Structures are given as C-alpha cells and as structure tokens.
A and B are shown apart, each in its own frame.
Chain A
Amino acid sequence: MAIWKNWLRTFLPWGKASGGGSTVLVEKSDGEGRHFVSSIDSDEYVLAPIKQWVISTLSPYAWDRVVIRSIRFIRDINIPLTSLLSPHPDTKVPREVVHRLSAILREMYGRELPLHEVFKNQIVV
C-alpha cells in the first residue's frame, strides 16, 4: 500500500467505539474534600473535558468540525455558539447535546464519546 494512504488513519481510531453506558452518576471523595466523577449518567455535563478529549484523542480540528455540524441543533436549543467552541470550565450542556455530539463523532470518526473515560478524573464542579 502506498505511503499516502496511511497517516490520516492515525487520527481515526476505527473499530474502537465505546459508548458511555447507561450507568448512574457516582461521586467519589478523595478524602480531602474534593469530589470526582466515578461514572456518568447526568442531565447536564461539563463541556470542557469533552472538548479536551475530542481534541486530544481524535484530531486537533475535530472539535470545531463537530460544533459546525451541530449548529442547527445548538441554535434550536439556544446555546451560544461561542460557549460551545470555547467552553469555560463551568460551562454545562444538557444530556441531549452530549448525545448529539456523540452521534456526530460516530458518523465522522467512527467513535462515540466514552463519557466514563472523559470524566473519570474530573473534579465535580
């Protein structure tokens, strides 16, 4: 196979799809008063870790692409575009948005958001 077919594949972890699962939200304490998410099924999600996961796992420009693909939907539910593109540490979005983003990622990159992995070391806001 020619070399040219190869490197874009490194951005595309096909066949490793893993869903978030239908688990419940569990918080763990580290004994110093900080709370961490252990598993996820929430009505709202902090967006920044999701963006970080997308950028670092899929591709540097994947987040912008995902947001552009979801613009119609985002506008329907009145979330400012800028909040999605550059979320603050405390920017939260409803579960339906996260599911939508996950579906778009599946179509674009063959991978869904593994919410447990994304949030496993996050401090609960």
Chain B
Amino acid sequence: MTLLTAESLVEPHLEKGSILIGGEPHVVHCHYYNHFLQTSIEDAEGIYPVEEVLVWTAQEVAHALFRNIFTKKGIHDFNQRKSLVESLYSSCGFGKISLQGITSEGGEISTPYEHYAYTYAATFPSRPKGKRGVAYFSQGYIAGAIEAIYDLPLGSIGSEQTACLTQGDPAVRWRFYRLSHLLPLSPSVQEGKAQTGTLVQPRDTRVPMAQIRDAVLGLPLNPDPDTGLIEAFGVVLTRLPGNYYTLISERHFQRMIQVVGEEVRQVVLDMLIESGHVCAFNTLGGIMQSAEWDAVVRPYLDTPEDWIYGISAVLPAIGWGIVECSQRPSAQAWNLCLRNWYETTALAALPSPALDHSPFAKGLFAGIMALVYKAGIAEKSLTFDGVLYRQLFQEGRIYETEFLESRLQGGEKDVLRARVGHV
C-alpha cells in the first residue's frame, strides 16, 4: 500500500497562478478575512437561512474534492479515505478531527481545534447560548467528505453544530445524519473557467517576479501538529477552497437582493469590498512585514513601487491568480490586469452570476495601495490595529479600485485601476 500524504495532493499550476487539491483551486487566507466574510453573511440570519449558503457550499466543494481524490488515486478502503480526510483537514489549517466514529449513517465529531471557532473564541466574547456556533465551513466540509467516503450522492448527509468554543463549550461538536431526501445542492464548479497567463517581469525593477513566486510556493505552511492550525505572518492561515469564498459571496449577494430588493445591493457589495481591505491589511500586510519577506523579497526592494511588484509576485503562489502590472504603479494610480483571478474564474462558470466583477479584488488592490503609499509600509514597521485600519480605510481612506474590463461582462481578462479617488 502506498502512503498518500495530504501534502502530495497539492498541485501548483504556475501557468494559472493556482493551487489545486483534488481538482479544487485552494487559496490562502487569514482568520481576519475568514471571520469578516462569514460574519457579514451571518448578519443576514434574520433575512434568509444563512446555513444554506455557509454550510451547503462547503459540502458541495468537499464532496467534489474528495470524490476526485478517491477516484484518481484509487482509494477504496473507508478507513484509508477517512484518514486522508483527517490529514487534509489539518494540512489545510482547518484544525484536527477524527472520523473514527463516523459510519455511512453519520455520527458525531468533536474537536477542541477548529479554525473558525478557535480564532473567534480567542478574539471575541462568548456568543449567547441558543445562537449557533461559528464552525459552518467545517460542518459542510465534513458532511461532503462523509458523502464522498461512503460513495453517497451529494446532499444525502444532513448536519448540525451542537457545541462551540464560542459559547464556552470545551469543544466544537457536530452531528451528521443520513437524510431521506437529498438537499438541493449543486456540484462544485471546480476549476471554473480557468485561464492561463504569464507572470510578466517588468523592466523597470530588479524585483525577480518568478523567483519570488517560486520561493513563496516553496515556503512550508505547516500546521501545528497538536492543533492543526497554521500560525504564520502574525495571523492564523487556512488553505481553503477558493470556490467556497466565491460562492458564499455570490449566493449571499443573490439571496439578499431576492429577499430584500435592489436597495440592498450597494451595502452588500460594500461589505464584500471591505473584505478585500481586511485581507490586504491583515494577510498581505502580515506577509510584507514577515521574516520570510525580509529574507526572500526585501533585498530587491528599492522603491515603494517595488513593494507593489513584490506582493504581486506573491499572489499566484497563494493561489489567487496572476497579476500583471501594465504600467509602473505610482502613488496616484496602479493599472493592473488579472488572469485567472480565483473569484472571477469561479463566477464565470456559473450560468448567470449576480456579481459582474470581483468585489474582493476591488477592496484588495485599493488596500495594497493604501498600505504602500498611505501607511508607508516601505519606510516603517506598521502596527496592524484598529487605529491604522481607520486611517487607511475609514476617515483617511483615499484609494478605490475600478474595473475597466471584467471577464464577467464579456472581457477577455480583468483590467483594474486602483487610484486616488472620491470615496
């Protein structure tokens, strides 16, 4: 029997700027982004059943992912399948689980280490009893994995979270059970409308784009062996299926407009854009002040623009797609082109997406400009706190991003301009 490790399932695709596991694109994000996006959606719990978005989407993705792996690798033994799910769960930084007690009829799983619950409990006060726990993603992910393990059709396992660290419980606990009728789930879009591109080497910098991308790809994102959580760059990271983020954003946007009406469109979009600010600030800010950055990228950074090039080279290595800078950036504007941007690529595979551009990208690239040109990350060490966040994205916000071309509106690529604007 060949021992299959979770790490051996990770397939970087340089020509796409993506990282596939079981045919599903995976992207690196931090707990701040994860919580911000999830909480923005959870706020709508009185408007529509948010579990249908937050749990079911994870179930769809995990079902496809593990079916692909089991089929491709010829893994038929249930125990081997379980052990691979447990291993991948930890390897991606979701925490630690044991599927020992699970059968094709379901069962219970309990763990003190789950990414969302653990980081939430460490940051926020306890949620009131009666309110459900925050481990939506894992709940759906495990339900989809159980279906794949037992060759059950998508939507045949129901689930509920019955305890959570965020309510003072010592562990997160879920219950899984066979349903008599299938849940109305859709198969994952997997690679979506994937496209290829080239990581362009700008002539006006000595930042070696491909070398940085490759070095970051080679950095180990190892989970703590005891917790299955990945602490790096001053945050807690996950390598989560990109389709999950994209589809929960899209479905939330759709459901809100359906239930509340067009009047809610802008406020939902604003929250999705804000998630990009949160991500730039925490994940990318953390990377740009890390020891790894100092070792791999910093020796090539002469100007603030080099910082923009440097972080652009990192993005394909964390699975987000390929960023081309079509002109030298400046403090006034940064024109860029995105190939295979993970959010766009997934949305483009849907029959009629409600989102016609990537709101996450809008917030993200304005956020990078703010870090480099407003906060001055090239000149000084920053403290990523609420005060700085307000200076960059609230009272002191000066950057915004516009889409000049979008693949979701018929364009061949995403073309954006992040610039000083009226915000």
Contact = CB atoms under 8 A, between A and B. Distances in A.
Interface in B235-276: 235-236, 260, 263-264, 267-268, 270-271, 274
Contacts of A107: 128
A8 B384 CA distance: 9
A65 B122 contact: no
Contact of A8 (B40, B124, B268): B124
B43 interface: yes
Nearest to A72: B46
B271 A61 contact: yes
A85 B269 CA distance: 13
A61 B274 contact: yes
A71 B264 contact: yes
A88 interface: no
B44 interface: yes
B170 interface: no
Interface stretch (B205-213, B294-302, B351-359, B388-396): B388-396
Contacts of A97: none
Interface string A62-87: 00110111011001000011100100
A60 B395 CA distance: 9
A27 B35 CA distance: 43
Nearest to B36: A61
A3 interface: yes
A95 to B, nearest CB: 21
A71 B119 contact: no
Contacts of A7: 383-386, 389
A59 B231 CA distance: 25
A87 B44 CA distance: 21
B200 interface: no
Interface residues on A, range: 20 to 34
B387 interface: yes
B44 A60 contact: no
Contacts of A12: 124-125
Interface in A1-19: 1-12, 14
Contacts of B385: 6-7, 10
A67 B394 contact: no
A49 interface: no
Interface of A: 1-12, 14, 55, 59-61, 64-65, 67-69, 71-72, 75, 80-82, 85, 107, 110
Contacts of B128: 107
A80 B385 CA distance: 34
Secondary structure type dominating chain A contacts: helix
B32 interface: yes
Contact of A4 (B47, B235, B394): B235
Interface in B337-367: none
A27 to B, nearest CB: 30
A71 B260 contact: yes
B419 interface: no
Given A12-B124, A55-B394, A82-B263, A65 B386 contact: no
Given A5-B122, A85-B267, A60 B389 contact: yes
Nearest to A68: B43
A110 B125 contact: yes
A75 B383 CA distance: 41
17 contacts: A3-B234, A4-B119, A4-B234, A4-B236, A7-B384, A10-B386, A11-B386, A14-B125, A60-B390, A65-B43, A68-B43, A68-B44, A68-B264, A69-B43, A69-B46, A107-B128, A110-B125
Given A2-B231, A7-B384, A65-B40, A81 B274 contact: no
B123 interface: yes
Given A8-B123, A81-B263, 18 more contacts: A1-B122, A7-B383, A7-B384, A10-B387, A11-B386, A60-B274, A60-B394, A64-B270, A65-B39, A65-B40, A65-B43, A68-B43, A68-B44, A68-B268, A71-B260, A81-B264, A107-B128, A110-B125
